Structures are given as structure tokens and as C-alpha cells.
Chains A and B, each alone.
Chain A
Amino acid sequence: MRRYRTVSGTIFDAANYLFLGLFALAAVLPFVYVFAGSFASDAELTKRAFFLIPEKFTTAAYRYIFSTDTIMRSIGVSVYVTTAGTLINLFFTVTMAYALSKRHLAGRNFVLNLVVFSMLFGGGMIPTYLVVRELQLLDTYWALMLPGAISAFNLIIVKNFFQELPAELEDAAKIDGCSDLGLLRRIVLPLSMPVLATFTLFYAVGHWNNYYSALLYINEPAKWPLQVILRQIVMLSQMAAGDLNAMDPNFEQPPDQAIKMAVIVVGTIPILLVYPFLQKHFAKGVLLGSVKG
């Protein structure tokens, strides 16, 4: 489609491109700055303030924060909770969505209504906390994985997707003697891989970024995931990230700011690594929800 070229139109275009460029820059510049700063020395951070390439490159901040196992251990917790938690999410979501996708199932509408109502009204923070406590889940990793095992929103999207698969495929397999479980495993799941990849990524990012559950349910510092440790170090300056005694004698303690930046980089990099995959899938995931079922 061609449009008339006018002076005002050209000015608008130029301004628009400039604005969008600046906006996009603002979205990523903080990461670039923090990444650069985490490799900089004390003197440079106070003297130059803003820079994107440090003059004197040093990994002191990283050596310092990894000199104790505080951060490594919390990364381990986060990796474990993300992996196991996502598997739990997928198992609960797929099984329930598959059963609910069968229109002939007696009681289906009742369960669907239960699910939808839970999106509108919830018990809230304290009653949920008390349930987790009654189940003896406080200070266990289960508390980080079970209370959010199913997102009602995702469940309904997956259910709708299953429902739209051609019924003929399942009928044919059924005549060949396939059971409902076999259908799910051999027909439905292989056909749903792209959708499931989307939700795997969504759930996994949710677990990695989750701070709320750990704040509420985990009191034992040894079981804190990375997000909690991040906050302790960056915002409260409460936890000594590293151990000076573990460093070599002429090691100069890196500046406070560089340490904080290094910790932020460590927490951000996993997300940036999966971002290309996320980007491939999320638009689809967001828009799947708009399909009515």
C-alpha cells in the first residue's frame, strides 16, 4: 500500500522512527550499563559514572561473589525449582486440560465453572498461606511449586487447543483399539508440541522470576532461591556476598556497586539466553487466549 508523501507525513515518520528507536534503547540500555559496570573498577564507577565499555576491565566483582557458595547454592535452588516446578505444571495442566476437552464427559461443565470462578475470586494471601502451613509445606521446595501448579488461564487455553484438534484422528485411533491414555500419549501430545513449548517457557520463566512464594513460604536462608538472595544483596546490603578471606592476599575488595551489578547480571542472563525461544512463541501464546471455545 502506497501512501501520499507529504511534508508533514515525512516529518512525522522521522520523528516516529526517532522516538521508537529511543524507546527501544531505553528498554535495553539499563542491562548494557549494568553489564559494563559489573566489570569496572571502583575508581571508574565513581569518576566516569556512565559508560558502556569499562576502561580497566576486571572480574573482581564476579570472583568475589562466587567466593562463597551463597549465590551458587541459590542458583541451584532456582534451577531445581524451575525444572521440577515446570514438570509439575505441565503434568497437571495437560492431564486436566485433556479430560476437560472431552465434551461428552459427565461433570465437565461443573469442573469448568469451578476453574473459571477461581479466576474471579480467590481466598487471598493469608488463607492460602494457612493451607500451605497446614500441609506442612513451609520451608520445603514443594511450597514453591504446588500452590501455583496450574494457571487457570493457561489451562483453558490448552483445553481449547485440544478441543480444536480434528476429532477424526482420535476416532480412527479408538477404532484401532487405542485407550484414552494412549490417545493422549500417541496422538494428542505429538500434535500439541508447539503449544506445549510455549507454556513450558512461560511456566519456567515464572518459576525463575518467582519471589513472592519464597518470601511467604521459605524462612530458611539455605533454601532461598536466587531472587531472594538478589534482593538481600542489592537492596538491603544485608548479606555479605563473598568471603574476603577466601581471596588471595593482595585482592582489593571490589566496589559495592560493581558487586550489585554483577549479581543483577547473574540473575538476568538465564532469561536473556532463553529470550530468542520465548520471542518465537509468546505472541502465539498471548493470542491463543483470544480464541473462544
Chain B
Amino acid sequence: MKSPETATAANTTTTASESEPTITNTSGSTRRGRLWRNRWLYALLMPGLLYFLVFKYVPMWGVLLAFQNFSPYHGFWKSEWVGLEHFRVFFTNPEFFMLLRNSLILSLYNLIFFFPAPIVLALLLNEVRVALFKRTIQTLVYVPHFISMVIVASLTYVFLTTEGGLVNELLDQYFGFKIPFLTSPDWFRPIIILQTIWKECGFGTIIFLAALAGVDPEQYEAAIIDGASRWRQMWHITLPSIRSTIVILLILRMGDVLDNGFEQIYLLLNPLNREVAEVFDTYVYFMGITQGAFSYSTAIGLFKSVVGIMLVVGANWTAKKFGQSGIY
């Protein structure tokens, strides 16, 4: 723990009598007096603040590497500035279009096939009247959320490999052929989406179920008296009650359009499916960490973050324009 002295270093000129904290000295005290009275709070603030400065703000400032030819030997201060050179090289590289296409297609698939899944599951769970059944189902479908991505990828591997994997053994026994799921470019995207649905669909229902629990039962009763069918009740009462939650999640998702989940993709990526599997994150890893092209990979990462922030702001603006409440 940081010593309180560091927090109050600016107060060294304060005399002992002034700095004595007293109950009566609660209002109209000097700025120094207030700082001194809160010295323990500032001491408590220090470790966390230091963390944010070192591990969040120094790297943020480090994105300037993108405009340099950074070499670890020369260090940040002596490396040569090259302006937008790395961006120019990247945007004219055919790999750029491959990455952009792969990222966008994965995000689009995610939006179409994964995003509605927890909503549908929550609506179905909401229709269950037997409390014990509902609780049991919830308990089971939340499990995969807490399993590591490595285990998910390992399970995928054990099930789908052509060397003794369950699915291929069954295919072989009944139909006499095998499918190279893990090395085929055609299967990469479906596998990623299936993994995401399996892992996160159940847990994703929590936020919707909470919103649904807040709906006044009288609304349903009134609708039933008016002769509304179950389908009509869902359409006119249940769905509107989770609309704002859906919009907020959609806005947040916009920021991740170029962010496809590094671990998940990295674990399934191999030279045979690279043409559809390589995305910005994995490319940054290979260029930066494996090959040491620090400036070039920082430039790619910066491009990705800036696009992400613009999409969030844009989506938020659009949502407000249509009368929804945004995320800020």
C-alpha cells in the first residue's frame, strides 16, 4: 500500500496546528485543510489511480507508436516519426480487404444468428409456468458461460476432429465419409457462431428475464379480458417491455463490429482456414507479438479502436433520433 505521505506531499508546508483534523473544522476550511482531512481517502485512491495511469493511459499514449518507426533499441523518444506511412501501407495491402471482409461477415452472422437467440430463449422461458422447470433449465443453460474459451475450443476439437472425433466417427459409421470441419474454410464461420450460441445464449437471457420480471401482471390480465391471444400478448406487452434493453445491447454491439473475440478465433485459426478466419485482432497479434512489427500492428489496432468508437457514437445518435434512450 502507498504511504499516506505520497498523497499529502503537496501539503508539506501546512503547519501542524492547521492540519489537525477537527469536527468543528467541517466548513469554510482552506483547500489544504480539506486535502489533509481526506488524506486517507487519497491514499486509498492512489493504487487504483496508478493502475489506470500505468496500464490504461500509458498504452493510450502509446498509440503514437503508430506514427513512428518504433524500434525497441532506440526507444520511444528516439524512434523516427513517419506520419501516416503505416496506415498507407496497410490500406493498400490486399490483406486489409481480407481482414475487413472476415471481420464484417463474422459480425453480420453474429448479429443475424446470435443476437436474437437470447431474446427468443428469454421469451420462451418467460412462457414457462412451472417454476421448478424454469429454474432447472436456467441453472443448466448458464453453465457454459463460465467455461474458458480454451475448453470450448477443446470440446469443439474433440467432437469435430477427423482423427477419432465423435461427429466424424458417427458420420463414418452411418454414411461412410468424414468432413474436415476444423480445417475447412466453409465450416469456420458456422462453428464460430455455434460456439457463441452454445456458450453465451443462456447467460444472455438474464438481462432480458430481469426486464420481463418487471412487467405488471395487470397488463396481461387486461389483455386477456380484451381477448388477446398469447401471441398478441407477447407482441404488444412482452416485446415492448424489453425494447430499450435490446436497443442498448445493439448499440454496444456496434462498437465490437471489428472486434471478433481474439481468443475464440485464435484458437480455431490455422493455415488451412486462414483466408476466412484471420481478423484484425489475430493479425495484430501475429504482426506485433510474433513478428515484432510493433508500429505497424499498433496502427492496425488504432484503426480498429477508432472505427469502433465512431460506430458506437453513430449508433447512439441514431437511436436517440428514433426516440430511444441511448447509452449516454
Contacts and interface: CB of A to CB of B under 8 A. Distances in A.
Given A3-B224, A124-B63, A150-B52, A27 B141 contact: yes
Contacts of A120: 309, 312
A49 B166 contact: yes
Contact of A93 (B40, B48, B142): B48
Interface centre among A93, A102, A127, A287 (most CB of B within 10 A): A127
Contact of A257 (B148, B151, B158): B158
B155 A30 contact: yes
B181 interface: no
Contacts of A261: 158
Interface stretch (B12-20, B94-102, B280-288): B280-288
Interface in B135-181: 136-137, 139-144, 146-151, 153-155, 157-159, 163-166, 169-170, 173
Contacts of B144: 27
Contact of A102 (B41, B55, B125, B128): B41
Interface stretch (A55-63, A192-200, A204-212, A239-247): A204-212
Interface centre among B63, B136, B309 (most CB of A within 10 A): B63
B124 A20 contact: yes
B210 A287 contact: yes
Given A127-B63, A260-B154, A275 B48 contact: no
B62 A123 contact: yes
A217 to B, nearest CB: 10
Given A27-B144, A95-B44, A120-B309, A126 B284 contact: yes
B45 A95 contact: yes
Contacts of B266: 215
Contact of A1 (B47, B165, B220, B294): B220
B49 A111 contact: yes
Interface stretch (B104-112, B235-243, B271-279, B296-304): B296-304
A28 interface: yes
A263 B155 CA distance: 11
Interface of chain B, helix or strand or loop or mixed?
Answer: helix
B128 A16 contact: yes
Contacts of B42: 99, 105
A4 B144 CA distance: 36
Contact of A279 (B142, B149, B158): B142
A115 B137 contact: no
A215 B267 CA distance: 11
Given A19-B124, A125-B301, A235 B48 contact: no
A67 B187 CA distance: 37
Contact of A256 (B163, B281, B294): B163
Contact of A231 (B150, B155, B206, B281): B150
B229 to A, nearest CB: 8
A124 B169 contact: no
B206 A230 contact: no
B116 interface: no
A77 interface: no
B140 A24 contact: yes
Interface string B38-76: 101110110111011011111111110100000010000
A13 B127 CA distance: 8
Given A127-B298, A180-B41, A23 B289 contact: no
A141 B70 CA distance: 27
A100 interface: yes
**Size category of the binding interface on chain A:** 35 or more
Nearest to A49: B169
Contacts of A81: none
Given A95-B45, A120-B309, A227-B150, A20 B125 contact: yes
A271 B146 contact: yes
B294 A16 contact: no
A75 interface: no
A129 interface: yes
B298 A267 contact: no
B202 interface: yes
Contacts of B220: 1
B133 interface: yes
Given A130-B294, A256-B164, 20 more contacts: A1-B220, A12-B230, A13-B127, A19-B124, A49-B166, A96-B47, A96-B51, A106-B35, A118-B60, A123-B56, A123-B62, A129-B289, A131-B62, A216-B289, A235-B154, A264-B155, A264-B158, A271-B146, A286-B210, A290-B210
Interface of B: 23, 31, 34-35, 38, 40-42, 44-45, 47-49, 51-52, 54-63, 65, 72, 121, 124-125, 127-128, 133, 136-137, 139-144, 146-151, 153-155, 157-159, 163-166, 169-170, 173, 198, 202, 206-207, 210, 217, 220-221, 224, 230, 262-263, 266-267, 281, 284-285, 288-289, 294, 297-298, 301-302, 304-305, 309, 312
14 contacts: A1-B217, A45-B164, A100-B45, A104-B38, A114-B52, A121-B60, A122-B56, A123-B61, A128-B55, A135-B54, A175-B23, A181-B40, A215-B266, A278-B146
